[in-house]
Amino acid sequence: MSDEAAWETFYEPSAAVAAPFGPQPLRGDVIEFGCGHGTFTVAAAAHTPGTVTALDIEAQMVAATRQRLARAGVTNVHVVLRDAVVEGPGVPPAVADPRDDL
């Protein structure tokens, strides 16, 4: 079993993404730190009408996420090779969902 397949046996991505926010979709954009294989990226994209900015420090993970998004036909995700700890997320402040109930 590949690392990607093994990782996906631990979680149900749609439920994990929805759990903190409830059944209603998010109202704005989402930032995903450490997108890895894109396990949660597709689910996050389905949970928001906005854009998901998916960040990872490893080029291999960025490529894997882009491939997964292409296979799924997802178009509202911007995948970026970035060290968010050193460089920050690379998006303007207050871009992510502004709900006050979070």
pLDDT value of position 28: 80
Between 96 and 26, the more confident residue is 26
pLDDT at 101 > cutoff 70:
no
- Average pLDDT for the chain: 84
pLDDT digits (tens, 9 = 90+) for 4-29: 777 778 878 888 888 777 777 777 88
Considering the four listed CATH numbers 3.40.50.150, 2.40.110.10, 1.20.1110.10, 2.40.50.140, the one that applies to the domain covering 3-87 is: 3.40.50.150
At 96 the pLDDT is: 54
Q: List the domain boundaries for the chain.
A: 3-87
Greatest Cα pair distance in the chain: 41
Give the best-scoring range by mean pLDDT among 26-30, 47-51, 75-79, 96-100.
75-79
52 has pLDDT over 70: yes
pLDDT score, position 1: 46
63-100 b/e (C-beta count within 10 Å ≥ 16 → b): ebbbebbeeeebeebebbebebeeeebeeeeebbbeee
Cβ atoms within 10 Å, residue 2: 8
